[in-house]
Amino acid sequence: MTDTASREDSRLAIGRDRDEDNKNGDTMTTQRTHDDAVGSQQLLAMSEEELDNLFRRSPAGPIPNGEYDGTAIAAPGTEFAEVAAKLAHLLAWKGKVFDARRGVLENRVTPFDLHAIVATVYRGESWFDQKECIVLDYSKTSLIAHWIRDEIREVAEGVYLGLVFWDTTRILYFALRSRA
């Protein structure tokens, strides 16, 4: 077994498709393993291929509600990933605040943790793999980020992995962890 395959086996069992092990066609709850404690450090250490596989295998999960801490994931799996995440958190982006009932969110930005840059939140088809995801759509709510679309899926309870698209090009990953 390759090093990448063994790392994937040990870390990516957390996001199986709902029907992956279902032989009868019944709807199943998502299987979770001991990896429910997955966090930003584990996601930062994963390669792009591992993050893509985790996103593919994970269910959309519930639409988040409340405050979530964010981690930007640039250059995943490299030594630069952790440094970039810390700089982004310190200077630019700290996370998101969701209002699931209203279907909106605000980003937590700047060193002052201001709530700004609104998006609409809804279930939709992923541009990445055409499966259900939670879409964070800035196209009609933000002058600054109108060309941005985020897609998230729940990779562990209260933890979401996100993909960022600029127009239709994927440019970045991020993680969200519930503060509750």
pLDDT tens for the 180 residues of the chain, in order: 444 443 343 343 433 333 333 333 333 333 433 344 578 899 999 999 999 999 999 999 999 999 999 999 999 999 999 999 999 999 999 999 999 999 999 999 999 999 999 999 999 999 999 999 999 999 999 999 999 999 999 999 999 999 999 999 999 999 999 998
Q: How far apart are CA 106 and CA 115, in angstroms?
A: 6
| Cα radius of gyration rounded to whole Å, the chain | 16
pLDDT at residue 9, as a whole number:
39
Q: How far is the C-alpha of 89 from the C-alpha of 24, rounded, in Å?
A: 45
Q: What is the pLDDT at residue 149?
A: 98
Residue 145 CB coordination number (10 Å): 19
- In the numeric block, the tokens 């019944």 are attached to 26
Which pLDDT does position 38 carry in this prediction?
77
Domain that holds residue 150: 1-180
Q: How many CB atoms lie within 10 A of CB 120?
A: 16
d(CA 24, CA 86): 46
Largest CA distance in the chain: 52
Task: Count how many domains the chain has.
Answer: 1
Dihedral angle computed from the Cα positions of residues 17, 21, 25 and 31, in that order, rounded to the nearest 10 degrees = -50
